[in-house]
């Protein structure tokens, strides 16, 4: 693969270093405006750096964006990373673009504007904190590629209304699927419609992101919602 | 109309002043509070110090209720990002975006933004002036 990285700060530097060491043998180019950073890359990693503004079409042309399989923008500024990826898509039809973002809230607008992947250190650390929090009733474990699905973990409280019910009887939100149950003693069970939910079970489920709250409510609420 | 202007440089401050004296509801955002010194003391609009490529800041200035958004900071990419946020996240009907780099301006115009490149406009004005009253090689004005 021909991979172009824009921005030779710490993230960009270690990224190209890893890419060069990867057994796949990628062709790698890194674009950087700052002469000192270009110098450092060239001295330590070889002749893989191009000095220029990665947001400018002339630099992109010179770098061969037209034949790049992937463009990764990891400068320190979200707006620059956005423009690199948007121009890569619009002008050079790059099949896959990845943008680093500082503000996790920018994920939505970047997705909406056609950036394939966003990576946020802030969001990653937040997710880590969420996983570590023992009191959090629903823990997102993994976001599945595309389709808005994710894998989550819910611990069934002692007094939950689902305790003693079979999975087939449960009213779960749409496109939610219980895929694994781990007993309070740590034994995993592959659930079927007849599997009984017990208190303190750890339920691993696939759900749509927007149904997270509904799924948590279904598995943890202590009494059934009042009827009509 | 309610207008939000991002960037209180010479252009942003002048535009804000004109719109304000025309009776429009104007909000100016700039990341450096110092920049508001460019506004006249009788400016009746709002001054908001903050980063306009942060959607929380845009929400705070009431961008959802705005009729128009104008991005005139020094950074082409900041303008491009903020304009697209105003358009796609806040549904502002009229968005104007300044982009110095003519190539980038063309790309974003093709992507549906209403853009202006002062580089092209300025160069064109200067060329028109020269064309209108050309100077002959010997220094004489042509008849």
Tens digits of residue pLDDT in B16-71: 999 999 999 999 999 999 999 999 999 999 999 999 999 999 999 999 999 999 99
- Partners of A103 on chain B (C-beta within 8 Å) are 54
Question: How high is the pLDDT of residue A124?
Answer: 86
Q: ipTM of the assembly?
A: 0.88
**Cβ A79–B80 below 8 Å, yes or no?**
yes
**Cβ B80–A77 below 8 Å, yes or no?**
no
Chain A: which residues have CB within 8 Å of chain B? 55-58, 77-80, 82-83, 86-87, 90-91, 103, 105-106, 108-109, 112-113
Q: Write the CB contacts of B19 (distance below 8 Å, at least 6 apart in sequence).
A: B3, B5, B26, B45
Mutate to test the interface with A, among B77, B97, B106 (most CBs of A within 10 A): B77
Sheet holding B46-49, edge to edge: B46-49, B25-30, B2-6, B68-71, B94-98, B114-116
Mutate to test the interface with B, among A76, A80, A84, A86 (most CBs of B within 10 A): A86
Q: pLDDT per residue over A141-160, tens digit each?
A: 888 877 789 999 888 888 88
Looking at residues A171-186, what average pLDDT do you find? Answer: 89
Residues A58 and A139 in one domain: no
Q: How many residues does chain B have?
A: 143
What's the structural domain count of chain A? Answer: 2
pLDDT band per the 50, 70, 90 thresholds, residue B105: very high
- Partners of B55 on chain A (C-beta within 8 Å) are 105-106, 109
Residues B142/B134, Cβ–Cβ less than 8 Å: yes
**Cβ B110–A113 below 8 Å, yes or no?**
no
pLDDT band per the 50, 70, 90 thresholds, residue B139: low
Domain finish residue from A93, A124, A155: A124
Mean pLDDT, rounded, of chain B: 94
Q: Is residue B134 part of a domain?
A: no
Q: Is residue B140 part of a domain?
A: no
What's the structural domain count of chain B? Answer: 1
CATH classification at residue A215: 3.30.70.1450
Q: Is residue A84 part of a domain?
A: yes
φ, ψ of residue A165 to 5 degrees: the values are: -95, 160
- Partners of B77 on chain A (C-beta within 8 Å) are 55, 77, 79-80, 82-83
Q: Is residue B97 part of a domain?
A: yes
């Amino acid at each position: 693969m021909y991979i172009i990285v824009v921005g030779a700060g710490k993230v960009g530097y270690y990224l190209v270093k890893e890419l060069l060491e990867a057994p796949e043998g990628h062709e790698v180019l890194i674009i950087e405006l700052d002469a000192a950073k270009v110098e450092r890359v060239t001295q330590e990693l070889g002749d893989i750096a191009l000095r220029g503004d990665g947001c400018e079409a002339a630099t992109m042309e010179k770098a061969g964006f037209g034949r790049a399989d992937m463009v990764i923008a990891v400068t320190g500024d979200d707006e620059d990373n956005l423009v690199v990826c948007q121009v890569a898509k619009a002008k050079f039809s790059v099949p896959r673009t990845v943008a680093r973002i500082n503000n996790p809230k920018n994920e939505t607008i970047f997705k909406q504007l056609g950036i394939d992947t966003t990576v946020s250190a802030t969001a990653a650390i937040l997710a880590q904190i969420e996983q570590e929090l023992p009191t959090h009733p629903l823990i997102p474990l993994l976001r599945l590629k595309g389709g808005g699905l994710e894998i989550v973990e819910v611990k069934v409280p002692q007094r939950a209304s689902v305790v003693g019910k079979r999975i087939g009887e449960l009213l779960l939100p749409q496109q939610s699927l219980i895929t694994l149950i781990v007993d309070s003693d740590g034994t995993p069970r592959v659930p079927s419609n007849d599997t009984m939910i017990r208190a303190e079970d750890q339920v691993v489920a696939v759900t749509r992101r927007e149904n997270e709250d509904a799924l948590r409510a279904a598995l943890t609420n202590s009494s059934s919602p009042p009827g009509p | 109309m309610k207008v939000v202007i991002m960037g209180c440089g010479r252009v942003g401050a002048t535009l804000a002043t004109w719109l304000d004296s025309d009776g429009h509801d104007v909000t100016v955002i700039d990341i450096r509070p110092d920049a508001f010194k460019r506004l006249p003391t009788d400016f009746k609009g709002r001054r908001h110090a903050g980063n306009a490529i942060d959607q929380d800041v845009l929400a705070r200035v009431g961008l959802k209720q705005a009729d128009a958004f104008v991005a005139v900071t020094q950074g082409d990419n900041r303008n491009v990002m903020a304009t697209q946020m105003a358009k796609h996240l806040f549904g502002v009907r009229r968005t104007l975006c300044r982009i110095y780099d003519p190539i980038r301006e063309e790309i974003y115009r093709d992507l549906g933004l209403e853009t202006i490149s002062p580089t092209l406009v300025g160069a064109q004005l200067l060329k028109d002036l020269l064309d209108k009253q050309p100077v002959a090689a010997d220094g004489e004005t042509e008849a």
